[in-house]
Amino acid sequence: MYSFYIVFTYVVSFYGFIVPSATLLMIVIFFLQYWVDKYNLFRRFSSPVDFGTDLIRWIFKIFEFNVLFFAGGYFFWSFTVHFDSPPGYRSICIVHFCIAFIYVALTLLVPSKLRRKILG
């Protein structure tokens, strides 16, 4: 079930440049899913197994990759959709993608203690 939301987040981030209303739809779906999960967690289900913090760290990694998917989609679709864009616009898209790539590389390759010092 949750893999659907991960894939949905990546798809919306990649195609968000073309269909801006998809971002609003994603916000509504996550808002509703939050309350459904909260109800199910506290009223219907309870897990005796302690997952610890590994699951939360994994979810944060997934959402950090979302920044790269958004930048990649914006980079790809801005060149495909806008044929007559000025040259400065393309350089801004390239810089945006490079910053997102550096951020994701920092979150993956740098140890957590050093990453906290760099990123806050």
pTM beyond cutoff 0.75? no
> DSSP string covering 33-63, please?
HHHHHHHIIIII---SS--TTHHHHHHHHHH
- 100 has a pLDDT exceeding 80: yes
Instruction: Report yes or no: 46 and 105 within 8 Å, Cβ to Cβ.
Output: no
pLDDT (tens digit per residue) in 25-68: 877 887 888 888 888 877 777 666 676 777 777 777 777 888 88
Q: Give the CA radius of gyration of the chain.
A: 18
What is the average pLDDT value for the chain, to the nearest integer? Answer: 77
pLDDT at res. 88: 77
pLDDT at res. 105: 85
pLDDT at res. 2: 58
